[in-house]
Amino acid sequence: MAKHYQVLIIGGGTAGIMTAAQLIKQRGVDNIAIVEPADTHYYQPAWTLVGAGTYSFEKTAKPMVSVIPKGVQWIKDKATGFHPEKNTVHTEKSDDITYDYLVVAPGITYDFSLVPGLGDAIDKGVVCSTYTDPKHTWQVIKSFKGGTALFTQPATPIKCGGAPQKIMYLAESHFKKRGVRSKTDVVFATVGTVIFGIKEIAETLMHVVDRKDINLRFNHKLVEVDAEKQIAWYELTKDVPMGGCVIMSDDDEEKCIDETFQYNYKNVKVTKKDNRYGIHYDMLHTAPPSVAPEFVRKSSLVNEAGWVDVDIHTMQHKKYGNIFSLGDVAGLPTAKTGAAIRKQVPVVVDNIDLLMKQNSMSNKSYNGYSSCPLVTDYGKMVLAEFDYSGSFTPDPKLKRLLIKDSSKEHWRLWILKKFMLPYLYWNKMLKGVDV
């Protein structure tokens, strides 16, 4: 006979643990289970710092059993599918599990087929990613001896969209410290059209780019990686205007630059083949292409884009009223960050609590708040905070840290990132305390 729980949570990451902790601690719900196969829970926001050699990887990991809230049943298994009409979740090894309320928060997974060649190349040799192996990233940065240092990202949604450039700023500083910067071209190739979507933050980051002499290449969609020849292949997502040109390699006879494609041009080696442009690299850092886990993508819970189809303000599923989703897997038009989850959890918890007690929904509404701590150097950081409207929305609590303007680089924001946020995460957020 299937086991039954009042609240069943899929995923023991930030979203799943925080939701369980607040339901049990703040609302007294005592029949909760979490389905999670992993033995270890990671604080991934610190992996950028690990990749830059300024944080211990071991400090980012704790046994899963130590973060599962007391009183919550841990089902150490993989969810494999849903039968929402019967309030049932299928699992790999256990029997089916039934629920009154379901919270879908398994995070994201990586689909390397979206960028052929990357799966075989990543975390080997000079190809690295702080998302998958920050220790290898540090080895690559530490042993880099000059040439083209290429930082890039796929066209899919990724965790913390600013992470691929954070590690670049830190790597550039490390190259300078080690005396290899003068022999190095730092290139950032992105499918985007600007360095960052929030105007105030973009202005600051362009100053950082100028200071660090970084070449930006916009409208560059990563489509393949040739690890053997050390070439990252791109398609341009914007047509080159009639009579216009983009400097891409030594072979170009005309020397002209379209700044919607290039900013601060550097003459790095590029091969053109058909409609693709291959940037030759001596080291490559990228984020992996990210999608919802397969058991979610193949379910009836997702929207056309393959993310869980929820109301963007209540986190309630659009079709199944007793299902909620939050965190990276939810179909929300905002950045996939732990800061977003911090604001989503209280809304989900309030809604489930009120549905249980009064069969009504909360008047709490999630406004799309997310934040991206953009480390710009060792000891400096900018904090990009924004909502669904794309407005810059700094947290008033920052005033307590004597930070007047978080869109500007500040050493106190670095202290927040390196010391205060990890402490709050392990000791408050995962324990069900509002922060």
- The 3-state DSSP class for residue 198 equals coil
User: Taking all residues of the chain, what is their mean pLDDT, rounded to a whole number?
Assistant: 94
What's the pLDDT tens digit per position in 14-55?
999 999 999 999 999 999 999 999 999 999 999 999 999 999
- The 3-state DSSP class for residue 126 equals coil
- The reported pLDDT for the residue numbered 246 is 61
pTM above 0.85, yes or no: yes
| Spatial distance between the Cα atoms of 60 and 248, rounded to a whole number of angstroms | 40
Query: CA of 271: how far to CAs of 274, 286, 308, 338, in Å?
Result: 10, 20, 40, 39
What's the pLDDT tens digit per position in 392-421?
999 887 777 788 899 999 999 999 999 999
Strand pairing report for 32-35 and 3-10 = parallel
The DSSP element (H or E) to which 253 belongs, if any, is: none
What's the pLDDT tens digit per position in 212-229?
999 999 999 999 999 999
Residue 182, number of CB atoms within 10 A of its CB: 8
- The reported pLDDT for the residue numbered 402 is 81
What's the pLDDT tens digit per position in 279-337?
999 999 999 999 999 999 999 999 999 999 999 999 999 999 999 999 999 999 999 99
Query: CA of 363: how far to CAs of 155, 158, 346, 350, in Å?
Result: 35, 30, 11, 9
Degrees to nearest 5, angle at CA 38 with 136 and 56: 35
CB 279 within 8 Å of CB 187 = yes
Residues 107-117 have a mean pLDDT of: 97
Least confident of 157-161, 358-362, 410-414, 418-422: 157-161
Taking the CA atoms of the chain, what radius of gyration do you get in angstroms? 23
Q: What is the CATH number of domain 116-285?
A: 3.50.50.60
| Spatial distance between the Cα atoms of 189 and 184, rounded to a whole number of angstroms | 16
- The reported pLDDT for the residue numbered 160 is 86
Considering only CA atoms, which of 106, 37, 122, 36 is closest in space to residue 292?
106
pLDDT at 260 over 90: no
- Name the phi and psi angles at 296, rounded to 5: -85, -45
Q: At 256, is the pLDDT very low, low, confident or very high (cuts 50, 70, 90)?
A: low
Instruction: List the structure tokens of 64.
Output: 């899963």
CATH 3.40.50.620 fits 3-108+292-366, yes or no: no
The DSSP element (H or E) to which 110 belongs, if any, is: strand 109-110
Q: Quote the strand ranges of 244-348, DSSP E.
A: 262-263, 270-273, 276-280, 283-285, 290-291, 323-325
Top pLDDT among 261 and 243 is at 261
Instruction: List the structure tokens of 263.
Output: 């900013």
Query: CA of 91: how far to CAs of 21, 73, 94, 218, in Å?
Result: 23, 15, 6, 43
Top pLDDT among 261 and 324 is at 324
> Helical H runs in 287-392?
294-297, 338-358
> Helical H runs in 115-162?
118-121, 134-143
What's the pLDDT tens digit per position in 190-207?
999 999 999 999 999 999
CB 89 within 8 Å of CB 79 = yes
Calculate what percentage of the chain has a pLDDT beyond 70: 96
Considering only CA atoms, which of 274, 277, 273, 250 is closest in space to residue 261?
277
Asked whether this chain's domains 3-108+292-366 and 116-285 adopt the same fold, the reply is: yes
Catalytic residues: 160, 372
Domain ranges (residues) in the chain: 3-108+292-366, 116-285
The DSSP element (H or E) to which 400 belongs, if any, is: none
